[in-house]
Chain A
Amino acid sequence: MTSVKTQQSRNDDGLAAVVPATAPQQLVKRRRKPLTWDKVSFFAVFLGLPLAIYLLFVIWPFLQAFQYSLTDWSGFSPNPNFIGLENYARIFTDDIFMKAMANNILLVIVLPVVTIILSLVLATLVTVGGSSKGQIKGLRNSSFYRVVSFFPYTIPAIAIGIMWGQIYDPSGGLLNGILTGLGFDQFKDFAWLGNKDTAMIATMFVIVWGFVGFYMVLFVAGIKGIPAELFEAARIDGAGRFRTAVSITIPLIRDNIQTAYIYMGILALDAFVYMAALNSGGGPDNSTLVMAQQLFFTAFSKGQFGLASAMGVVLAITTLIFSGLVFLVNRLTGGDKDVSN
């Protein structure tokens, strides 16, 4: 039985090609051996140790968060009162938290789209920007662009935030230096992060800056995985570069795009580090305040742990809804069956 099961799950994982269909079942089959000390100690350590740490430091806190969110716990009283959904009612009538939620939703709408489009364009330029005659090949020196674009991903987010905070500095910053140097004198001493109309856009740009390279590398790898024959066939059929990108490349790396969209969306729903580094107080008129900041403040500055846990639950549910929506939209619009050129 065991062998059949392994075989099936392997096929489920799309590894069918690796496992020869004719592999004799007899060989793979493992006999149920009596439990030896070797086996018992092996399972205890290999499974027990990692699971113990994981359950204690990850799963247990997650579960407790749901429980705390129904209490008025402040961290010190031994017996917090059970107050039902009161914390949630409070959150949804709290204007500041709702503003933070709206900001997160704005981020989750804008960031994945902008980042993915930009990195897709760059990845396409790198991979299929080369000659239209002869072999399908990428642009010359493309590895330079790839390596450089990836730089920001290796930099800690907090360092990115601090660095850009200085770049946006009204008087000594690089951005205003460049703009006034180019003759745009209205930007002299313009506070990008201090103006409620520009703070959010400036912040979004920083996050996009940090991630475009990573997704570009991801998409380049995806595009390189497409067999060259498909591009050649399209070219013979008379498809130009743009047509090839839209009808061949994008449908074929659709799974990568979906993964990127979810990762980027989860990041946008958090965004704590960037916001904390660029505008730790939530920005002018709370224009860059996000739920995570409000949660952190409620928990570790105000000590309202019950309320903060409820905010965490709201954040988690928003994340789950978002991931679900992305899967659903991808499924409804045809998933990966769409390669019909």
Chain B
Amino acid sequence: MTTRVETPERKSLHFQPRTPASTPGDKVVGAISHTALTIWSLIVILPLLWTFMSSFKTSSEIFASPFALPSVWRFDNYVKAWTEAGIGSYFLNSVIVVGSALVIVMVLGAMCAYVLARYTFPGSRAIYYLMLAGLTFPIFLAMVPLFFVLKNMGLLNTLPGLILVYVGFALPFTVFFLFSFFKSLPHEITEAAALDGAGEWRTFFQVMLPMAKPGLASVAIFNFLGLWNQFLIPVSINAAGPRVLSQGLAAFAGQMGYAVDFGALFAAVTVTVIPVLIVYVIFQRQLQGSVSQGTSK
């Protein structure tokens, strides 16, 4: 709460006419609520807007005044960030890695969760707890040995290596979430499918998987955000490999001390932020729903 941003036009927004039923007390509470929420919204939005605005400025303009609008709305910074700083290719790498890992982990996670949730066999409990362990331990603990596991397999500093590790670390969350989901699907359906002569494979792909769509969508959203934002894994096991976005951004910012080009840095950050933000705004309804599902289990 160190940055309280005051805005003069705030008040006019809140004393709107309300429904006749509200008491004066309600009006006060409503006004206070709106004020508090507006302050927080401003604290969230102002930094983003400022970054966006600064991405069009030259370094000297940025230092002249943090508030002034850019003299010309130039896209030089974006061109520089995208090509010279390599954000374009990092972006592509991120899309490849996160996209592949997401597809693989969703398929494998759904299969594993399905087997654990619908069949009882010796060791199923143990596997379940093994998954729990993977969720509890900090990723950091695994990084050093993982480095050598990948090195021995020749996958260190490669995108396939990164994809496999992403899959491994996203798996426990995926299995957990879908486990409770598959458990809640009625058993009668499997029975019906078996009576109709469907084998195990067919029952899963043609009956159970389509039924699990809402659950799959929620997990996919969370896995996407988690993997897209992943930083520690790439900087540990892909330090010399083709960079992904988060890694490239950090490297770009790290050079800044020597070659100061703040405009391009702001442009790089904007390029990283905007696509996901747009996707979020489009899908925010689904996401709000899945937050509650995802964490209630």
Within 8 A of B (CB), among A199-233: 201-202, 205, 209, 212-214, 217-218, 220-222, 224-225
Residues of B within 8 A of A111 (CB): none
* Nearest B residue to A295, CB-CB: B140
* Nearest A residue to B175, CB-CB: A50
Residues of B within 8 A of A144 (CB): 41
Of the candidate stretches B28-36, B71-79, B212-220, the one touching chain A is: B28-36
Contact of B171 among A54, A132, A201 (CB under 8 A): A54
* Nearest B residue to A132, CB-CB: B26
**A27 close to chain B: CB less than 8 A:** yes
Of the candidate stretches A55-63, A88-96, A332-340, the one touching chain B is: A55-63
Residues of B within 8 A of A270 (CB): 138-140
Within 8 A of B (CB), among A1-59: 2, 5-6, 9-10, 13, 15, 18, 27-28, 36, 38-39, 41-43, 45-47, 49-51, 53-54, 56-59
A57 near B168 with CB under 8 A, answer yes
B41 near A313 with CB under 8 A, answer no
Q: How far is the CA of A277 from the CA of B268 in the complex (A)?
A: 15
A209 near B184 with CB under 8 A, answer no
**A173 close to chain B: CB less than 8 A:** yes
A46 near B204 with CB under 8 A, answer yes
**A175 close to chain B: CB less than 8 A:** yes
Residues of B within 8 A of A27 (CB): 188, 191
A145-B40, A158-B250 are contacts. A174–B66 as well, Cβ < 8 Å?
A: yes
> Nearest Cβ distance between residue B116 and chain A, in whole angstroms?
8
Residues of A within 8 A of B191 (CB): 27
> Nearest Cβ distance between residue A336 and chain B, in whole angstroms?
13
Q: How far is the CA of A276 from the CA of B140 in the complex (A)?
A: 14
- We find that the number of chain A residues with CB closer than 8 angstroms to chain B is 123
Interface of chain A, helix or strand or loop or mixed? helix
**A236 close to chain B: CB less than 8 A:** no
Mask for B103-116, Cβ within 8 A of A = 1, else 0? 00000110110111
Residues of A within 8 A of B30 (CB): 129-131, 139-140
B66 near A305 with CB under 8 A, answer no
* Nearest A residue to B203, CB-CB: A42
**A102 close to chain B: CB less than 8 A:** no
> Nearest Cβ distance between residue B53 and chain A, in whole angstroms?
10
Mask for B62-87, Cβ within 8 A of A = 1, else 0? 11011100000000000000000000
Within 8 A of B (CB), among A132-159: 132-134, 139-140, 142, 144-159
* Nearest A residue to B191, CB-CB: A27
* Nearest A residue to B290, CB-CB: A221
**A97 close to chain B: CB less than 8 A:** no
A158 near B246 with CB under 8 A, answer yes
B276 near A155 with CB under 8 A, answer yes
B134 near A59 with CB under 8 A, answer yes
Residues of B within 8 A of A62 (CB): 133-134, 137, 141-142, 145
* Nearest B residue to A316, CB-CB: B141
A50 near B201 with CB under 8 A, answer no
A145-B37, A148-B44, A149-B40 are contacts. A273–B232 as well, Cβ < 8 Å?
A: yes
> Nearest Cβ distance between residue B264 and chain A, in whole angstroms?
12
B145 near A309 with CB under 8 A, answer yes
B41 near A158 with CB under 8 A, answer no
Contact of B111 among A50, A118, A155 (CB under 8 A): A50
**B239 close to chain A: CB less than 8 A:** yes
**A182 close to chain B: CB less than 8 A:** yes
Within 8 A of A (CB), among B128-164: 130-131, 133-134, 136-149, 164
Q: Which of B33, B48, B287 has the most CB of A within 10 A?
A: B33
Within 8 A of A (CB), among B246-297: 246, 249-250, 253-254, 262, 265-266, 269, 272-273, 276-277, 280-281, 284, 287-289, 291-292, 295-296
> Nearest Cβ distance between residue B180 and chain A, in whole angstroms?
7
Residues of B within 8 A of A214 (CB): 291
A147 near B272 with CB under 8 A, answer no
A130-B30, A162-B253 are contacts. A177–B36 as well, Cβ < 8 Å?
A: no
B165 near A38 with CB under 8 A, answer no
**A261 close to chain B: CB less than 8 A:** no
Mark B residues whose CB is within 8 Å of A.
1-3, 5-6, 18-19, 21-23, 25-26, 29-30, 33-34, 36-38, 40-41, 43-48, 50-51, 54, 62-63, 65-67, 108-109, 111-112, 114-116, 120, 127, 130-131, 133-134, 136-149, 164-165, 167-169, 171-172, 175, 180, 183-184, 187-188, 191, 199-201, 204, 225, 228-229, 231-232, 235-236, 239, 245-246, 249-250, 253-254, 262, 265-266, 269, 272-273, 276-277, 280-281, 284, 287-289, 291-292, 295-296
Query: Which 9 A/B pairs are nearest by Cβ-Cβ distance?
Result: A221-B292, A57-B168, A177-B66, A64-B145, A129-B33, A61-B145, A61-B142, A42-B200, A312-B141
